[in-house]
Amino acid sequence: MTAYEDSATFASAQAVQHRIDLLLIAGMVEDGARVLDVGCGTGQLLKLLEEKKNVDGRGIELSQSGVNFCVAKGLSVIQGDADHDLVNYPDLAFDYAILSQTLQATTRPKEVLQELLRIARHVIVSFPNFGHWRIRTQILFNGRMPVTWNLPEAWYETPNIHFCTIADFRELCDVAGARVERSFALSPNGRPLGSRVPAFMHNIVAQQAVFLLTAGDKG
C-alpha cells in the first residue's frame, strides 16, 4: 500500500465534515506541491490543501460568485473555463491538476483531460458513477433520468452534460493517453470499497470514483 493510499484512507475516516472525495484527493497530494484546482467551486478543496498540505494552490472557477467566495477566503482563484483556458498554461506548470466532480460538466472531456495531463505531473479526477445500480434501476423501471443524492438536479436543470461510468472513464484514459496510477471506488455511504468488493463490481456498486493519473508513454 502506498503512502498516499494510507493517508487518503485515514483522512476519510477522520474528517467526515469534508466531502469524502476531497479527503481522498488531499491524501494523494504531496506536501508543498504546486496545485491547480479546475472548477474549484467555493474553494473547499484548495483551503483544505493549503491548511493540511501547505500547497502552492491556484484555482479556476467558471462562476463569478464562486471566484468571489474563494478570493474572500484568501485563495488565489481566477475566473476561467476548463474547456478553453487550460491551453494558456505551460507544460508541467503544476505537480497536480485536480478536476473534482467537474469532468461531466465539461463540453470536451477528452481534450480537457489531455490538457490536464500536459500541464501537470499528476492529474486527479473524481466524478459520479452513472453505472451505479440505483441509476440503472431508475432508468429500467421508471424510464426517466435518475435523481440521486450526488446527482440531485432534474435533467433539465443539471449542469452535467457528459455522464460517464467507471468503465467509460477507464476507456477515456486509454483514448487520452493517461496511465491510471491509483483509483478509489466509493460506496453509497461515502467510504472506499477497498478489497471487500471485487474490482469488476465497482462499476455497479460505486456511487463515485477518484482516479490518480499520469501521462502515458507516447509513441
Q: What is the CATH number of the domain that holds 208?
A: 3.40.50.150
- Cα–Cα distance for residue pair 45/98, rounded to 1 Å: 10
State residue 16's pLDDT score.
36
Q: Measured at the alpha carbon of residue 82, what is the angle toward residues 41 and 100, in degrees to the nearest 5?
A: 45
* 218: confidence class by pLDDT, cuts 50, 70, 90: low
- In Å, the largest CA–CA distance within the chain is 49
The pLDDT score that the predictor gives to residue 153 is 78
- Give mean pLDDT, residues 71-85: 94
Residue 18 banded pLDDT, cuts 50, 70, 90: low
Sign of CA dihedral 4, 179, 160, 198: negative
CA–CA–CA angle 21, 59, 78 (5° rounding): 145
Mean pLDDT on 47-74:
94
Per residue in 94-118, pLDDT tens?
A: 999 999 988 988 999 999 999 999 9
Predicted pLDDT of residue 97? 98
Burial class (CB in 10 A: 0-12, 13-18, 19+), 159: exposed
pTM over 0.95: no
Could you tell me where the DSSP H helices lie in 42-90?
44-53, 64-72, 82-85
Q: Say yes or no to pLDDT of 149 above 60.
A: yes
Number of structural domains, the chain?
1
Q: Where does the pLDDT of residue 200 fall: very low under 50, low under 70, confident under 90, or very high at 90 and above?
A: confident
Strand, coil or helix: what is 182? strand
Expressed as residue numbers, the domain containing 36 is 3-215
pLDDT value for 194: 76
CA distance 130 to 199: 16
Long-range contacts of 66-70, Cβ-Cβ distance < 8 Å, separation of 24 or more: 66/40, 66/41, 66/42, 69/42, 69/43, 70/40, 70/42, 70/43, 70/46
Q: Which pLDDT belongs to residue 13? A: 38
Residue 174 has pLDDT above 70, yes or no: yes
